């Protein structure tokens, strides 16, 4: 899902950078006011896990690629603000060190995989657990829905950005991105459920839903 340079027009680059800067700023404010000391090492562990998981890429269309995101899992365990910071750090490192995603497209990548995926995952999990309850079944099903939905919605945002920039027609970009990521989301959902199941068995206190 990383967008390389040359695929977005100037208007889209500027807009996505502005929105992403606002999202990261929001995450920093929330981290300063709400982040507990025991969560700091958890953020590092989560960042390392997601970074490794994102190394598996699947080529899709027009030079873009699909992969696991991990934002929903981070948002469930640490809150969406912290998840945005984790994802932004990962995406910056991937861009500057591994040339995975363009520098001009960094704002769009942070918006899609950091902000949209984190908040979508958080609220999908919140809504699902409110309906099904916060027992084991409800939390695991909520984790799957959150992970799948975060990937799917982020891919739609990516397709729209490419179409608005005139890179790929929306009739091509949307089915390709959404279709592939609907399948990738199943894998992400399964991994998220596995991690949540492990956390519930070992550190259930980490699953106290973090406030936005």
Q: What's the confidence (pLDDT) of residue 202?
A: 87
C-alpha closest to that of 43 among 3, 90, 11, 96: 90
pLDDT at 173: 93
Of 129, 126, 121, 127, which Cα lies nearest the Cα of 146?
Answer: 121
- Distance from the first to the final alpha carbon of the chain: 26
Domain ranges of the chain: 10-207
pTM: 0.90
Res. 2 pLDDT band, cuts 50 70 90: confident
| Cα 49 from chain centre | 13
**Whole-angstrom Cα distance, residue 98 to residue 117?**
22
Name the one residue in this structure whose structure tokens are 């992400």: 188
CATH of 10-207, one of 3.40.190.10, 1.10.1760.20, 3.40.50.2300, 1.20.1560.10: 1.10.1760.20
Integer Cα distance of 153 and 104 in angstroms: 22
For the cut 60, the answer to whether the pLDDT of residue 167 exceeds it is: yes
Tokens 């068995």 label which residue? 201
Question: What would the pLDDT profile of 150-161 be if each residue is shown by its tens digit?
Answer: 999 999 999 999
Return the number of other C-beta atoms located less than 10 Å from residue 25's C-beta: 11
**Residues 25 and 93 sit within 8 Å (Cβ to Cβ):** no
* CA–CA distance, 162 with 2 (Å, rounded to integer): 12
Mean pLDDT for the chain overall: 89
DSSP category for residue 165 = T
Region 176-187: what's the mean pLDDT? 89
């Amino acid at each position: 899902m990383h967008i390389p340079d040359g695929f977005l027009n100037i208007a889209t680059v500027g807009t996505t950078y502005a929105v992403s800067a606002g999202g990261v700023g929001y995450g920093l404010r929330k981290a300063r006011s709400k982040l507990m000391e025991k969560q700091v090492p958890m953020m590092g562990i989560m960042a390392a896990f997601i970074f490794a998981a994102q190394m598996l890429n699947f080529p899709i269309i027009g030079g873009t690629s699909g992969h696991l995101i991990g934002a929903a899992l981070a948002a469930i365990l640490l809150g969406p603000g912290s998840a945005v910071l984790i994802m932004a750090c990962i995406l910056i490192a991937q861009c500057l060190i591994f040339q995975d995603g363009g520098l001009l497209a960094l704002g769009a990548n942070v918006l899609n995989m950091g902000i949209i995926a984190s908040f979508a995952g958080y609220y999908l999990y919140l809504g699902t657990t409110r309906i099904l309850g916060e027992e084991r079944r409800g939390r695991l099903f909520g984790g799957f829905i959150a992970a799948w939905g975060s990937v799917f919605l982020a891919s739609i945002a990516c397709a729209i950005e490419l179409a608005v920039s005139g890179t790929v027609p929306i009739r091509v970009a949307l089915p390709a991105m959404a279709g592939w990521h609907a399948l990738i989301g199943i894998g992400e959902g399964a991994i998220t459920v596995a991690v949540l199941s492990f956390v519930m068995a070992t550190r259930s206190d980490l699953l106290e839903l973090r406030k936005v």
